[in-house]
Amino acid sequence: MEITKTQNSRLSSVDFDNLEFGRKFSDHMIDVTFKNGSWQEPQITPYAPISFHPSMHALHYGQAVFEGMKAYYVDDETINLFRLDDHHERISNSSERMCIPSMEKEIFIDTLEALIRLDHKWVPKTKGHALYIRPFVFASEEYIAARAAKEYRYMVITSPVAAYYKEGFNPVSLTTTDNYVRAVKGGTGEAKAAGNYGGSFLPAQKAQAEGYTQVLWLDAKENKYVEEVGTMNIFFKINGKLVTPELGGTVLPGITRRSVIAQAKAWDVDVEERRISIDEVFDAHKDGSLEEIFGSGTAAVISPVGLIHHKGDTIELDRDNIGPFAKKMYDTITGIQYGELNDPFNWVHPVKVG
Ligand code: PMP
């Protein structure tokens, strides 16, 4: 790999007490080109604008996928990455679905380690803060033809981000929608494809205009079974059991979801990955067996849900506090990520930077 270091670090311009998600980017980025049938030598270069022709394929046909992960400060010698194998597996699956060549695992990991070593001072030191890592791949060929491109770029940029919750947890409110769907079986819903997000912004905006934080997606066929939230998977604690929608092709297989399930099982909590209808959730609330609802995702880790609206009916849980199970899950997963707790599952990938 070829590394070109910046001559002008922008680190001193960052106000680590006022970080805005996804606004400031660290000094370096990874840039790998795919052409003539293979990935070329990886480059690490100063973060800078890139140039492309208006005919660049991804702009027209949306052949683009991405990942979202974080680097966590442990001490001045160690930065932790989390479940790298799983993120590599997911970007490979997303790529396959979008007809994009996949990046070899060794290059994925080696370039990430090199980038973190180079920009380790960009990893915020405050617990809860982290360096957000955004790998992405897009069709870079200059060619307007509605078929898979022959040239791609794999890039990784990183951005220091604050804890999702600065002053306590704020339970979010969700609404279902009759007018839009997120994913259908056989579609691209289980891939982290750029276009999935583009298609979700209008329904999300409408939900927000009605006073809800996000859309709670139901299945596209019957508009009956719960699937997921904008950038989170969803969990219901019912009668002591943890219930989460099965994956089945339309739900993004969240790495945090997978971690929550593994941790819950390790605590001997029954976990059910199955279809769960919105009516079952409302009935469980009525009969008092619905204990907690929370979302899971890299950004917030665990996000309590305080309200769900569906066709004029509303269920409200505790709208001010996180539930005890969700809090314990949050403390445990973040404890592992920041190297404060043992890592019995071997999730953490420490990078030595000192
Ligand atoms: N669903 C969607 C649609 C998402 O974008 C995300 C965020 N990647 C998630 C779920 C949660 O996935 P993860 O736990 O891997 O961040």
Full set of structural domains in the chain with CATH: 2-162 (3.30.470.10), 172-322 (3.20.10.10)
Work out the angle between the directed axes of helices 84-97 and 105-118 (0-180°, nearest 10): 120
Helix-helix angle 255-266:84-97, to 10 degrees? 140
d(CA 81, CA 352): 11
Q: Is 250 in the pocket of ligand 1 (CB under 6 A)?
A: no
Residue with CA closest to ligand 1 atom 6 = 231
* Token pair belonging to 195: 């276009």
pLDDT at 62: 97
Interhelix angle 255-266/324-337, nearest 10 degrees: 110
**Single-letter amino acid code for the residue at 288:** G
Position 164 scores a pLDDT of 81
Cα distance between residue 111 and residue 29, in whole Å: 10
Cα 326 to Cα 296: distance, rounded to the nearest angstrom: 10
257 Cα nearest atom in ligand 1: 14
Q: Where are the beta strands (DSSP E) in 104-171?
A: 130-139, 152-161
> Given this model, what pLDDT does residue 167 score?
65
Atom 7 of ligand 1, residue of closest alpha carbon: 231
Characterise 21 by phi-psi region: left (phi > 0), alpha (psi -120 to 50), beta (else): beta
CA 334/CA 340 separation, integer angstroms: 8
- Residues of the chain under the 70 pLDDT cut: 166-167
CB 124 within 8 A of CB 73: yes
pLDDT digits (tens, 9 = 90+) for 48-93: 999 999 999 999 999 999 999 999 999 999 999 999 999 999 999 9
State if pTM tops 0.85. yes
> Ligand 1 center to residue 153 CA distance, Å?
23
Compute the distance from residue 143 Cα to the ligand 1 centre, in Å.
31
Alpha helices by DSSP H, listed for the chain, are 57-61, 84-97, 105-118, 194-198, 201-209, 255-266, 278-286, 324-337
DSSP for residue 193: B
